[in-house]
Amino acid sequence: MKHSIESLQQEIDRFEITGPDQLEEFRLRFLVRKGHIASLFKQLKDVSPEEKPLVGQLLNRLKTAAEQKYEDAGKSLASSAASVHSLKDDITLPGRTRFTGSEHPVQKVLGDMKQIFQAMGFSIETGPELECGTYNFDKLNFPPNHPARDMQDTFFVRIGENGEDDVLLRTHTSPVQIRVMLDQEPPLRVICPGKVYRNEAISARSYCVFHQLEGLYIDRNVSFADLKATIYSFAKQMFGPDVRLRFRPSFFPFTEPSAEVDVSCYLCNGKGCKVCKQTGWLEILGCGMVHPNVLKNCGIDPEEYSGYAFGMGVDRTALLRYRIDDIRLFFENDARMLEQFRA
C-alpha cells in the first residue's frame, strides 16, 4: 500500500500542467470520485489495524498535495490569461505598419540607364551642380551671344566682372565631361548622370530642375557608326528588343554632325497614340560627333582623336514609363505619390 501511495505521489509530481486541457486531465485522473486517489482510499479497509493510522495519514497528505497542485495550477493559468487581457492596448487592433522609403521613379529609370551603359564599359562620373560659365558654355563651343547664355534661360548665381568667370547652375551635365577631358587622357568612356537647371516657364511638361544622362566616348578612329551601334544597343535594352530608331539631322554647338534620335512609340508600337501625338515616334536623345573645337578646348588633338557624345532627359522617360502626366509630381516629394513605386 505504501508503495502504491509513493508511486502515485511520483506520478502526480511529474504531471505537468501547462494549459486548461492538462488541468482538466489532472482532475479526472487523480481527484474525481473514480480517480486514482479515491481508489487508494477504497483499499484502506483492507489495511491491518496497526498500519491504518499511518497509511491513512499518508493518503490524506497525498490528497491534499494533489488538490493544492490543482488549485495552484488553475490560479496561475487564470492569471496569465488575465494578464494578456488586462493590457491597456486593444490587442485585436491591426499592428502598426512602419513607413518604409522607396526608390524615386526617376532614380529607377536612371538606375536602368546606368546599368546598361556600365555593361557596355562606360564608367560613371559626376560633378558640381554649381558651375563656372567657362565649363558650361565656352569650352562647349557656344558662341558668345548664344541664347542659352541669356538670363531668361540660365540661373546665374554671380555674373563675373573684369574677366572673372560667371557662376551658374549647370544647364546640362556636359561640364562634367569637360572636366573629364581636361583631367584624363583618352581613351575616355564615361556617362554623366545628374540634375540640371533651366530658367523656363514651369508646366506639366517642363520644370526648372530635371535629370540628364550624357555620355562621351573618345579614342582613335571613333566613328558615327560606333555612335549608332551604341545607341541601338541601349534603346533595345531600355525600351524592348523590337524598337525601331530614327536618326534625324540636328544641330548642337558642341557636336558636328549632330542628330536627334526617336524610338518607335513603345506604348502603341508605332501605330500612333495620344502619347506620341499620333506620330508613332518618341524623341529620346540628342547626339553627335564631338566638335573639333571642343576637343581642342580640352587639350585633345582632333587630328589624333575623335569621339561621340549623347545626352538624354531622364524625367520624360520616367513619365512615359509610369504613365504620369505631370513632371511637377517628381519634385513635390508627396509620399502618397512616391509610395506607389515600392519595389
- Judged by the rule CB under 6 A, the positions of this chain that interact with ligand 2NL are 174, 177-178, 212, 214, 216, 252, 254-255, 286-288, 290, 294, 309-313
- Least gap, CB of 248 to ligand 2NL (angstroms): 12
Closest Cα to residue 117, out of 305, 314, 281?
Answer: 314
| 303: Cβ contacts below 8 Å, ≥ 6 apart | none
Sign of CA dihedral 225, 226, 229, 235: negative
- Least gap, CB of 334 to ligand 2NL (angstroms): 26
User: Is the CB of 6 or the CB of 185 nearer to ligand 2NL?
Assistant: 185
- Least gap, CB of 296 to ligand 2NL (angstroms): 12
User: Is the CB of 40 or the CB of 216 nearer to ligand 2NL?
Assistant: 216
Residue for cell digits 577631358? 181
Residue 284 backbone phi and psi in degrees, to 5: -115, -30
- As given in the structure block, the three cell numbers for residue 128 are 558640381
- Least gap, CB of 96 to ligand 2NL (angstroms): 44
Helix (H) or strand (E) holding 256: strand 255-264
- Least gap, CB of 215 to ligand 2NL (angstroms): 8
* 103 belongs to an annotated ligand binding site: no
- Least gap, CB of 316 to ligand 2NL (angstroms): 9
DSSP 323: T
Helical residues (DSSP H) of 87-223, grouped into ranges: 105-119, 133-136, 174-183
Closest Cα to residue 244, out of 256, 228, 257, 225?
Answer: 228
Q: Tell me if residue 252 falls in helix, strand or coil.
A: strand
CA dist 299 and 284 (Å) reads 31
User: Is the CB of 239 or the CB of 252 nearer to ligand 2NL?
Assistant: 252
User: Is the CB of 137 or the CB of 252 nearer to ligand 2NL?
Assistant: 252
Q: What's the CA angle centered on 43, arms 38 and 49, to 5 degrees?
A: 125
Helix (H) or strand (E) holding 317: helix 315-321
CA dist 308 and 198 (Å) reads 24
User: Is the CB of 73 or the CB of 285 nearer to ligand 2NL?
Assistant: 285
User: Is the CB of 62 or the CB of 309 nearer to ligand 2NL?
Assistant: 309
Residue for cell digits 513635390? 332
- Least gap, CB of 246 to ligand 2NL (angstroms): 15
User: Is the CB of 177 or the CB of 264 nearer to ligand 2NL?
Assistant: 177
Binding residues: 256
Binding residues for Mg(2+): 256
